[in-house]
Amino acid sequence: MSGIRYRRNIDCLTSNQLHDLREALAAMFELPPEDENSFEKIAGLHGQPWPSYCIHGFPGFLTWHRAYMEVFEKALQCCCNQSISLPFWDWSSGPSTGVPSACSTATYVNRDGDTVPNPLYAGPLPAFAGGGMTARSSAIDTTPFDNAATGAQNALNKATFSIFQSSLSGPHGLVHVTVGGQMGSVPYAGFDPIFFLNHSNVDRIWAQWQNTHPGSLPADEASLELDPFNKPYSSDWKTGADFATTDQLGYRYTNFCYVLPNWWDIFKFRLDPHWFKMEIRSAKLVLKSDRMPVRSMEIRVFINEPEPSVKTPTLGNPRFAGSLGMFGMTAGIEAPMEMKRRPNQRFDLELDISRTLAEQGKSGEEVSMKLVPVSIDGQAVSPDKANIEGIDILVD
Ligand SMILES: [Cu+2]
């Protein structure tokens, strides 16, 4: 997992992640149009001004837009914040109404407590596009996206890449048309920032399809030149083959939403938030830490165990998912001073929870997980001793 970045559902971002995204987007708005990371420059590649590069036919619809999303995500990172990844708007997993809440208000309260324009609500339009800001259909907050969701789920069942691609194109277009305003037409769609969340979702659906249909791209897709995306240090265009998988580009999609008040609290999530069953092939719990704990400890993971504690049986307990040993600097014997002064290093730990999750988590039902930190002599330990910055559940 190292080096892989995760694109998340915009509804699942923490408030910090959402602030990061909005700040980066607002900064892209401010860049001069000739800057290659400016919003105006990138939004303008899709349609107007001429030349218009997007490919909505076949071959090329999915690969061209995957390339385009990468350029936009890199701009968010370069302009402002390396840790940003482009989120997606999940209109495709089940019934939903309106655009995501993060995109639906004209203003928001920033980190300083000031009410400022919400850059996810509207993007600036250059003079050639009429100036002012983008707008959406006035009924957008009450309009359901169920037909687009049904179309996307049908596309996922198609056996070949070309049929999958052409089947996904329609529901994707329905989202454009339903959002309305600039989003509703090719020349100006790229100027509404929600364009990028929509196409991130299209890309995610493709990645989902690829998980169940491994294999290479058809030859006409792989060899297609994707103008205007250059190969590095070259005047050659990248081709479809450069965008065949998300792994080769260094990202994946994480399909789960969960809310974590504190990493050690019980938290709950659903395996199947909507109508459709998600096929889970592997699930990993990741504890993220930027340094080793001072004292070694064990972290036990329970799923659907009502009140787990250090006394809860582990061996033979089907609700025990496993434990992570946090190898610390001291365990009874005091560490030498120079060891304690060692520079911090990433110290992420992973636990495969696939089996327990599959056994305990029934589709559509809420699953609870609890982490119990235990000292090497079997006593309860305060969770703050573990130096955990955050936790994640990665599902493929
Ligand atoms: Cu589109």
pLDDT at position 1 is: 40
- Measured in Å, residue 394 CA sits from the centre of ligand 1 at 27
CA of 199 to the centre of ligand 1 (A): 6
Q: Residue 212 Cα, ligand 1 centroid: separation in angstroms?
A: 24
Considering the domain architecture, whether residues 27 and 165 belong to the same structural domain is answered as yes
Tell me, in angstroms, the distance from the centre of ligand 1 to residue 181's CA. Answer: 14
How far is the C-alpha of 86 from the C-alpha of 102, rounded, in Å?
Answer: 14
The stretch 323-345 carries a mean pLDDT of 62
| Tens-digit pLDDT profile for residues 276-292 | 345 566 778 887 776 66
Which residues are CB-contacts of 47 (< 8 A; sequence separation ≥ 6)? 54, 185, 186, 187, 188, 189, 190
pLDDT in tens, 48-61: 888 888 888 889 99
Domain boundary among 232, 254, 276: 254
Task: Kindly give the distance from the C-alpha atom of residue 184 to the centroid of ligand 1, in angstroms, as a whole number.
Answer: 9
- Please tell me the distance between residue 91's alpha carbon and the centre of ligand 1 in angstroms: 14
Q: Give pLDDT tens digits for 150-162.
A: 999 999 999 999 9
| 208 and 273 housed in the same domain | no
CA of 195 to the centre of ligand 1 (A): 7
User: Do 244 and 311 belong together in one domain?
Assistant: no
In angstroms, what is the span from residue 196 Cα to ligand 1's centroid? 9
pLDDT at 259: 47
pLDDT of residue 94: 79
pLDDT tens readout for residues 232-275: 888 899 999 999 999 999 998 887 655 444 555 555 555 544 33
Task: Judge if 128 and 33 occupy the same domain.
Answer: yes
Query: Residues 312-318: contacts with CB within 8 Å, 24+ apart?
Result: 312/372, 318/356, 318/359, 318/360
Q: Write out the two tokens for 175.
A: 């989202």
What's the CATH code of the domain at 241?
1.10.1280.10
Please give the Cα distance from 374 to 301 (Å, whole number). 11
Ligand 1 centre from 30 Cα, in Å? 24
Domain annotation covers residue 260: no
Does the structure show a pLDDT above 70 at 211? yes
Residue 247 sits in the same domain as residue 355:
no
Same domain, 306 and 336: yes
Structural domain boundaries enclosing 333: 267-395
CA of 191 to the centre of ligand 1 (A): 12
Q: How many domains does one find in the chain?
A: 2
Better pLDDT: 347 or 159: 159
The verdict on 221 and 198 lying in the same domain is yes
Answer yes or no: do 45 and 160 share one domain.
Answer: yes
Mean of pLDDT values over 177-198: 95
Same-domain check for residues 271 and 373: yes
State the distance from the centre of ligand 1 to the C-alpha of 178, rounded, in angstroms. Answer: 12
Q: How far apart are CA 381 and CA 298, in angstroms?
A: 9
Give the chain as a 3 state SS string. Answer: CCCCEEEEEHHHCCHHHHHHHHHHHHHHHHCCCCCCCCHHHHHHHHCCCCCCCCCCCCCCHHHHHHHHHHHHHHHHHHHCCCCCCCCECCCCCCCCECCCHHHCCCEEECCCCCEEECCCCCCECCHHHCCCECCCCCCHHHCECHHHHHHHHHHHCCCCHHHHHHHHHHHHHHHHHHHCHHHHCCCCHHHCCHHHHHHHHHHHHHHHHHHHCCCCCCHHHHCCEEEEEECCCCCCEEEHHHHCCCHHHCEEEECCCCCCCCCCCCEEEECCCCCCCCCCCCEEEEEECCCCCCECEEEEEEECCCCCCCCCCCCCCCCEEEEEEECCCEECECCCHHHHCCCCCCCCEEEECHHHHHHHCCCCCEEEEEEEEEECCCCECCHHHHCCCEEEEEEC
Whether residue 259 lies inside any domain: the answer is no
- Cβ burial of 145 (10 Å; 0-12, 13-18, 19+) is buried
Domain shared by 182 and 223, yes or no: yes
Spacing, Cα 250 to ligand 1 middle (Å):
23
Query: If you measure from the C-alpha of residue 170 to the centroid of ligand 1, how many angstroms do you get, rounded to a whole number?
Result: 10
Give distance in angstroms: CA of 172 to centre of ligand 1: 6
Q: How far is the CA of 352 from the centre of ligand 1 (A)?
A: 36
CATH number at residue 350: 2.60.310.10
- Domain end: 254, 278, 302, which one? 254
For residue 34, report the distance from its CA to the centre of ligand 1, in Å. Answer: 24
Single out the residue in 191, 219, 254 at which a domain terminates: 254
- The answer on 303 and 205 residing in a single domain is no
Residue 262 lies in a domain: no
The pLDDT value recorded for residue 261 is: 46
CA of 61 to the centre of ligand 1 (A): 9
The alpha carbon of 264 and the centre of ligand 1 are apart by a number of angstroms equal to 41
Query: What's residue 340's pLDDT?
Result: 54
Residue 344 lies in a domain: yes
68-79 average pLDDT score: 95
Q: How far away, in angstroms, is 210 Cα from ligand 1 center?
A: 20
Burial letters for 287-322: b for 16+ Cβ neighbours within 10 Å, e otherwise?
bebeebbebbbbbbbbbbbeebeeebebeeeebbbe
Distance in Å, CA 215 to ligand 1 centroid: 25
Return the pLDDT at 272. Answer: 44
Residue 376 lies in a domain: yes
Average of per-residue pLDDT values in the chain: 85
CA distance 344 to 284: 24
Pairing of strands 107-109, 115-117: antiparallel
- Structure tokens that stand for 281 in this block: 């092939």
**What is the model's pLDDT at position 132?**
97
Distance (angstroms) between ligand 1 centre and the Cα of 204 equals 14
pLDDT tens digits along 4-31: 788 988 987 877 889 999 999 999 999 9
Rounded distance from Cα 183 to ligand 1 centre (Å): 8
| Least-confidence region, from 61-75, 88-102, 264-278 | 264-278
Q: What's the CA-to-centroid distance between 124 and ligand 1, angstroms?
A: 19
Measured in angstroms, how far is the CA atom of residue 176 from the centroid of ligand 1? 7
Is residue 76 predicted with pLDDT exceeding 90?
Answer: yes
Nearest to 324 by CA among 259, 391, 227, 396: 391
232 & 290 share domain: no
